[in-house]
Amino acid sequence: MKKTKCAVIGCGSIAQVHGAVLGAMEDVEIVAFADILPQRAQQMAEKYGGRAYSSLDEVLEKEHPEIVHLCTPHYLHTPMAQTCAQKGVHVFTEKPPVISWEQWADFQALQDKVRVGVCFQNRYNRSVELFRQLLAEGSVGKLLGARAFVTWRRDAPYYTESGWRGKLSTEGGGALINQSIHTLDLLTQFFGTASGVEASLCNRHLKGITEVEDTLEAAIDFGGRQALFYATTNHCADAPVLLELVCENCTLRMEEEEVALRWADGTVEHRTLPPTGSLAVGKSYWGNSHGLCIRDFYRCVRDGEPFRNDIPHVADTMELMLKIYDCAR
């Protein structure tokens, strides 16, 4: 079996999940890990194989990977993807792929050069698949509106100790671009392109500590259907993300992988979803479908098939995120 050579750039928290997923894939060979903190790359290489480097350039020059995973801070995703594309190397980048309209233009220009996938892994969650199926079947009726709540806890050290979080130039924003972007992404999955938005942001518990928002609310218009969106890192815990879709005959509610369907006659139906099994990796509140998402990207690259999270299919989310910031700021 020909193995696909891959490398992981940035060896902090989320790289552990990429390492575990790639390490379990039989048709993949991890040739390199890189981090500006060399001991982090070294530890990953010892655990999952490959050699340790301190830069993307070195990895591209010496190891010639076919796919590079970008697990670096937000502001580096677009320029690193450009560097890979110049060498004809495919890219699987962590979210968010961009932090500004300028980066979005540059990122879109990569579309015809190499395969690019974005890690919106929650699109692969069982609950999301079920909602898609129910909406397509039609018994729930037309989608009328939604509400979404992301209420987590992030304290000052999460920002002050990271070197890149909390700053507009490196993180690009806070509760929206970092913690709740997956939930915004699910809204565009169900509703499509937003036609308008009103939004505001503020800094409550991190006032004076970060430049980026710790709380953001938005009323998003999807062609006459409204989605209310609220995200904060000021809760006392990492509560399960709540997403509720109101349809003509039923309200579909998910809290992580717990689903309840409230039908118009008042009956409530709880659905138990099949476990994600050995592909479940990562903290549950991140959504644990990294394994499904990464494997699907490799399959699509190998078979020359379109990938669910390629550049055109993340456009609605990226443009909505940037519009929300334009409006709220």
Q: Binding residues for ligand NAD, per CB under 6 A?
A: 9-15, 34-37, 40, 55-56, 71-74, 76, 94-95, 119, 121, 162, 178, 286
Residue 81 or residue 261: which is nearer to ligand NAD going by CB? 81
Min CB(11)–ligand NAD separation in Å: 5
Min CB(206)–ligand NAD separation in Å: 17
H helices of the chain, in order, are 13-23, 38-48, 56-63, 77-86, 101-108, 126-137, 156-160, 181-191, 290-303, 315-328
Q: Which residue is nearest to ligand NAD (CB)?
A: 12
Evaluate whether 315 touches 271 at the Cβ level (below 8 Å): no
85 φψ region: left (φ > 0), alpha (ψ -120 to 50), beta (else):
alpha
Residue 161 or residue 303: which is nearer to ligand NAD going by CB? 161
Min CB(198)–ligand NAD separation in Å: 26
Q: How many CA atoms lie within 13 A of 108 on its CB side?
A: 13
Min CB(94)–ligand NAD separation in Å: 4
Residue 152 or residue 222: which is nearer to ligand NAD going by CB? 152
Residue 83 or residue 251: which is nearer to ligand NAD going by CB? 83
Evaluate whether 238 touches 285 at the Cβ level (below 8 Å): yes
DSSP states along 42-78: HHHHHHH-SEEES-HHHHHHHH--SEEEE-S-GGGHH
Residue 233 or residue 251: which is nearer to ligand NAD going by CB? 233
Instruction: Report the distance separating Cα 159 and Cα 173, nearest Å.
Output: 12
Min CB(122)–ligand NAD separation in Å: 8
